[in-house]
Amino acid sequence: MSEKAPDAAQSLGPREAVLALLFAPDRKTSEGNWTWNAPIDGKTRLVKELFLFDRETEAGRSHALSFEFTPGPYGPSSMALTNALDDMVARGEISATTSTGSRSVVLRLVGKAGSVAKTVWSSLSEIQRRDFYQTKSRLRDIPYRTLLARVYKDYPEYTTNSLIRDEVLSPNW
């Protein structure tokens, strides 16, 4: 795969979308500095964040992503996105370390992927950068179960094949 950044007028493939989301800051520190390369807790969370970017932002509705989401066994999913993410972890572009007290992994850009992500980020339109930042920052503190329940409630058409639909939508979730 090419290391060239996408043209701002083009939509992002799965790899570029992962790079952009992981590179995006999720807030400013008390000193006013952006928290670039803010990690994301879990592969499923990353997929759901990109799904919400696609569905709930101006950039997403303008087809900023070149791949589709379909109803999968765990809600909205994209085989192209999952394959790209797994490949990036296998190639060492993303570290996937187990988070303390959790079964999920913390995803971070590592090595050369950080500079590639910066190039991708620089090539994005202002709207795309804004929407990646807003998606990541507003979902940052939402617990995983709450995020998953929200996606399942707001987008039931993407849960028709889910193996955990009844569990996620139950009042005890």
The pLDDT value recorded for residue 6 is 44
The pLDDT value recorded for residue 103 is 73
Identify the CA nearest to 35 among candidates 27, 44, 23, 47. Answer: 27
The pLDDT value recorded for residue 132 is 97
The pLDDT value recorded for residue 172 is 87
- Find out whether 87 and 14 touch, Cβ atoms under 8 Å: no
The pLDDT value recorded for residue 33 is 87
Angle formed by the axes of helices 79-90 and 14-23, nearest 10°: 70
In terms of DSSP H, where are the helices of 74-111?
A: 79-90
- Find out whether 51 and 76 touch, Cβ atoms under 8 Å: yes
The pLDDT value recorded for residue 4 is 46
Please report, for the chain, the start and end positions of each structural domain, with discontinuous segments joined by +: 14-169
The pLDDT value recorded for residue 99 is 66
Q: What are phi and psi of 25, to 5 degrees?
A: -75, 160
The pLDDT value recorded for residue 50 is 98
The list of the chain residues with pLDDT below 50 reads 1-8
